Each structure stands twice: as structure tokens, then as C-alpha cells.
Structure 1
Amino acid sequence: MTTDDTRFPLTAAERELLPTDEEVEFFQEHGWYLSNKLLTDEEVDLLDSAADRFYTGHRDRTLPTRPPRLAYWEPEKGDVHRHNDYIFYEDDTIRSILAKPIIAAVAARISRTSQIRLWNSTLIHKPPRADDTRNIVPWHFDRHYWQTCSSDEMLTAFVPFHDCGEEMGTITMVDGSHRWKEIGGDDSTSRHFADRDRSELDEMLAENAAFNGAEVRKVPVTIPKGHISFHHCRTYHGSGHNVSDRPRRAISLHLQDRTNQWRPYELSTGDLVVYNNDVLVRRDAAGNPDYTDPDFCPVLWEDAR
């Protein structure tokens, strides 16, 4: 396939929204970045209304098979912290907005890559329930769950559907933690935070900080409507209770850089880790999962210059 940057044109106004050199350096040093306003209020409202339709059963398409560790809230689970993976695939309205080239262009610039592909996407609804510990997202970094990926430079865009501050339990970064050297892990680190004890994850954060002689500096990111928070795949992050009077609604848009491809990752049992994408994407020439599959991992930005 022949590509050039005209596949993903930006308007002159959008080019003004790209990170400056200083902001790129900030991301490289701190591991997170708050963008300019990349989505209009109307686009954000469309995301919100599309989420309402999704929660009442609307699907433009459904997954061809159910991956083994799929996060997928359904109404019978009640008013809890909801996660629905593959929302980019299942809903065309959400897909059309999240595929705006400016989002991936920002990701490409701060991560210094010439291509951004989708990795996964999760619709999130955090109800205003200060009494429910399931609303707390414990400290973790995404790279742990992406062990079948060859790249250490993947990143996530966190896209709220409204102004999002501390009261709502906004995403909170451990500043600069993506630059830490990691203590040797074990099989448990490949398990999602929802499958692990919160105190264990708190202890891991403290141990890694001590190992690096680093301060655990927690930065809640206040995100105005239409702005997007980006974080590096090795940046520790989490979120607290939503103590506001409304749900905190957002999408986590996980992104690959150009270099990423499948790699085998063996557990101590001898079993290979299987990420959900591995049962959905096409096979490459060697029979391995192809993380360039255009159905599940489409190119969202590419600059061939």
C-alpha cells in the first residue's frame, strides 16, 4: 500500500493544535501530555450520545469471536464501573470521531514516530459512587499487559466526554515514572489490574520508586471538554472515586507506534501470553498475529516524508 501524509490531511487550524517542540520534550520527560482542544463540543456530545445508544444495545457490528479476557459490561451487571473493549470496532459514530487524524497526529508527534495504528479502545463509565471501591483504578502501567508487543513506545489517549477534574476521579499520572528501570517482574505483571489485588499494585509502585531512588509525584490531570490526555505505556497511572453528581464517561484509545509487532512472551509455566487482539487479527506470513490488521489495528496517522 502506497501512503503519504495526504492520506491524513490536517487543516491549517488543526496544525496549530499540534504540540510544540517544548511540549514534545515535556512528554518525553514526564510521560504524559494534555493536548489543546482537539474535539469540538458537538463531537464530544456525539460520543456521549453514542455511548447512551451503545449501553441500550446498539451495535454497528460485533466481534467475530469473544476474546478470552474481554472487558465487556452488560446491563445485568448493574450500576458499576463499566468497561467495554473494542468500542472503536463496534460503533461507527465513535469510530468516525476517534479516527480524526489530528488525534493520531498528536500521538505521533509526542512519541516521535511516523505512524500511529490503533491497538485497542475501551468505553468507560465511572458512576458517582464514593462507596464502591470498584470505582478506584489502582496504580499500574499499560506495558505490563501488552507483553506480546515488541515496542516500548506505545501510548494511550484518554478522551473524556465532559470537563474532567479531581472530583470526578480523573486520570492521575505518576510523573516521570516511564523513565524508571523496572524491578524484575514475574507472571503476575502480565495480568490486568482488575485481576490483581490493589494493595499488591500499590506496593509494586512503592518498590519501583524506591529501586529508582525516585519520588512518587502524583499529578491529577484536569481535562477540559474536547481536550485529550496522552500517556506513555510505561507511565504509572490510576484514578480515584468519582465524588461528583454525574458519571465520569470517557474512552481510552490505545495506540501503537510504527515499530510494534507481535512477539512471543512465555510464562514460567511454558504457556505463551495471549492478548485479546491475538484471537481477532489476521495471521502474518509466519502464522503469527498481525498487529497491522486493518480491521482491528488500522493506521490512523502516517507521515511518509
Structure 2
Amino acid sequence: MLTKEQKEFWEENGYLMVEDVVTPEQLAKMQQITNDYIEASRSVTASNDVYDLDKGHSAETPRLTRIKLPHKQNPYFWEILTKSGVTKVLNELLGPDTMILTSKLNTKAPGGGAAVEWHQDWAFYPHTNDNLLAFGLMLEDVGLENGPLQVIPGSHKGPLLSHHCNGVFAGAVDPQDPEFERDKIVTLTGKAGSMTIHHARTLHGSAPNTSDRARKILFYELAAADAWPLVGSNSYFHRLSQYDFMKDLEDRCVTGAPCLTPRIEQVPVRLPLPPAPDNTSIFKTQQSSGVKSVYAM
């Protein structure tokens, strides 16, 4: 599905845009499912296992930052990951054996929906090697005013920047870090059905949504099966028995099979500890740590 030029661009820049990665029928079904979830959130008054609510959420005006773990909330989102053009891209970039780390359906609310401060996914979940990436499948057209994803090309080959503030893991970089090269920022806009891809070590963020419509993007975060997590967002597995751990490993397998021989490489690692006062989401982690906002400067 990817051309030689696209693969070379990915290797050099650590990000890529792929258009029309799903069919019109698949896109329409995901849009309907997403709209149904947003409609159902009218009766929700606090963030829970399904929803992260944004400021100002009400029954009259639903405002969400995201729908959590959509691949577990509705089987169609798992089907898209395992039986669509998304799957083909996944295998071309990570190989035949792949695992899911997490997913989220970011529905950044209109009129100022929350920004995501600049960070590297790698800081949240370091692994034995860095063959990890994130897909961002656009469920609606995304323009400059929607708070689109922004990346810094080539940053996946550079250092792991500090994501700590006030003595805790803040999940964001310091805007004044000299290695945060803001002059190189690229903004990724596109049509519904397009998909952004960024490497786990690529610096990225997104501004508030200043438009009059939600920015709906389905994110899958994935790893080659031979990349084993050290600690971080998947560290719940430390609490599992061996039997439960193996079942979890099998459940997270997207294509191919789990790998029991981790590939270990020399990659920059700093553990995401100690945790922020509230680490229930990336938004809460960034807010409760007191980190400075890039978008307020």
C-alpha cells in the first residue's frame, strides 16, 4: 500500500500522511458509531471508563476530550485495525507480528477543546526497542482551526527530551528546552479517511480546537511484537498472574503472534516516574504537574 518514496520519507522524518486508508463505507460507519457515543455522553456527569469529559460538558452541550479504548468499546474499531487498509500499513511499517498498546478516539471539543502539550510517546512507555508508532485516522476533515496534529520532522532520531516538571513526570516537554526546535514544526491537516503516522520518539502536540466542530481522530498506538514494555501505560501487567499475563498478551496481538524473545537495542530511556498528582489521562498528567503550556506563550 505504501510506495518506496513513502517508506523512505517515514524513515527520514518519523511521520507520514496516508490518504484514503479506509473505504467510504468504513468511514461512514465509524462516524455514526462516534456520533452515537457523543450523543450518549449527554447523560454522563463525570469522566469514567468510557469518556474523558472536557470543561463545560453538559447534557445540552456535550464536550469530550476523548472516548477511551475504542477498540474495546466497540468491535468495529478492532475490525478496522485488523481488516482494512490500516492493517496493511501497519504490517509494512512494523512487520507481520504486531501488538496494540492502547487506543483513544480524540473528539476535541469545538470552541477551545483542550490542547495536547508537546511530548514524545516514548516518554510514556519505553520499550526494549523503539519499533513503535501511532496511527491517527481522521474521521472528519481536519483543518488548521481544528487543532490538528503537529510534528517536528526528524526528532525521532534525536534525544529523549525531559518530560519532568516539579519533580514528577509531566508528560510534556518544557517549551524553553533548547532541544525543542519549534521553528521546524509541521502541521498535519487532511481529509476524512486520511491517516497520520508518527514514530513513538517523534515530538508532537496539538493546539486547542478553535473551530465550531469537534476534531474526531481515532488513534491506535502500536508496537512490533519483539518490543517489550519496560514500564508506563501498560505497567498494569505487573499485577497480573502468569496466566492472566499470557492471556493479555494474546488479546493485544493485532497481527501475527506474540513474541517471547524481546529484541533489545541501545535506545534512550528515562522512566516516567514519579507520577504526576493526577495521572488518569495525558490531559490530567500535564495539567496537574504544573508544566508550562507551549500554546500559552
Normalising by structure 2, what TM-score?
0.71
**CA distance 1:277–1:100, change in 2 (3 Å):** farther
2: CA distance, partners of 1:121 / 1:138 = 18
**SS of 1:37 mapped into structure 2:** coil
Q: Is the 8 A contact 1:23 1:33 kept in 2?
A: yes
Note if 1:293 corresponds to 2:249: yes
Q: CA deviation at 1:57?
A: 4.5
Q: Does 1:247 align with 2:218?
A: no
- 1:155–1:86: structure 2 CA closer, same or farther, 3 Å change rule? same
> Following TM superposition, by how much is the alpha carbon of 1:284 offset from its aligned partner in structure 2, in angstroms?
4.3
Q: What is the correspondence of 1:59-208 to structure 2 with a 5 Å cutoff?
A: 72-73=51-52, 78=57, 79-111=62-94, 113-129=95-111, 132=112, 135-147=114-126, 149-182=127-160, 191=169, 193=171, 201-203=174-176, 206-208=177-179
Q: CA RMSD in A?
A: 3.3
Offset of 1:281 from its aligned partner? Answer: 9.1
| 1:140 Cα deviation after fit | 0.6
Per the alignment, residue 195 of structure 2 pairs with: 228
The CA distance in 1 between the partners of 2:200 and 2:250, in whole Å, is: 22
| Residue ranges of structure 1 left out of the alignment (5+ in a row) | 1-17, 59-68, 266-273
1:66 paired residue number = none
Q: Distance in 2 between matches of 1:290 and 1:207?
A: 43
Percent identity, aligned pairs only?
20
Instruction: Give me the whole-angstrom Cα distance separating, in 2, the residues matched to 1:146 and 1:85.
Output: 18
Give the aligned residue type for 1:162: E
CA offset at residue 86 of structure 1?
A: 1.4
Judging changes above 3 Å, is the alpha-carbon distance between structure 1 residues 38 and 277 closer, same or farther for their aligned structure 2 residues? Answer: farther
Cα deviation, 1:203-256, whole Å, max 9, x if unaligned, reads: 3xx3324xxxx6741111122221111000000111112222211111111111
Measure, in 2, the Cα distance between the counterparts of 1:19 and 1:144.
28
What is the alpha-carbon distance in structure 1 between the residues aligned to residue 49 and residue 137 of structure 2? 21
Q: Deviations over 1:90-114 (max 9, x none)?
A: 2122222233243132133234x33
Compared with structure 1, are the counterparts of its residues 126 and 243 closer, same or farther at alpha carbon in structure 2 (3 Å cutoff)?
same
Cα 1:171–1:162 shift into 2, 3 Å: same
Residue 300 of structure 1: CA displacement?
3.2
Tell me the distance in 2 between the aligned counterparts of 1:150 and 1:192.
22
Q: Distance in 1 between matches of 2:35 and 2:76?
A: 12
Gap regions ≥5 residues in structure 2:
42-47, 258-297
- CA deviations 1:27-67 (Å, max 9, x no partner) are 01100011131112221121121122233459xxxxxxxxx
Q: Do the aligned residues in 2 keep the contact of 1:108 with 1:301 (CA within 8 Å)?
A: no
Distance 1:222 1:80, change over 3 A: same
Instruction: Kindly indicate whether the alpha-carbon contact (under 8 Å) linking 1:140 and 1:201 is maintained by their aligned counterparts in 2.
Output: no
Taking a change above 3 Å as real, the CA distance of residues 162 and 280 of structure 1, as seen in their structure-2 partners, is farther
| Secondary structure of the structure 1 residue equivalent to 2:66 | strand
TM-score under structure 1 normalisation? 0.69
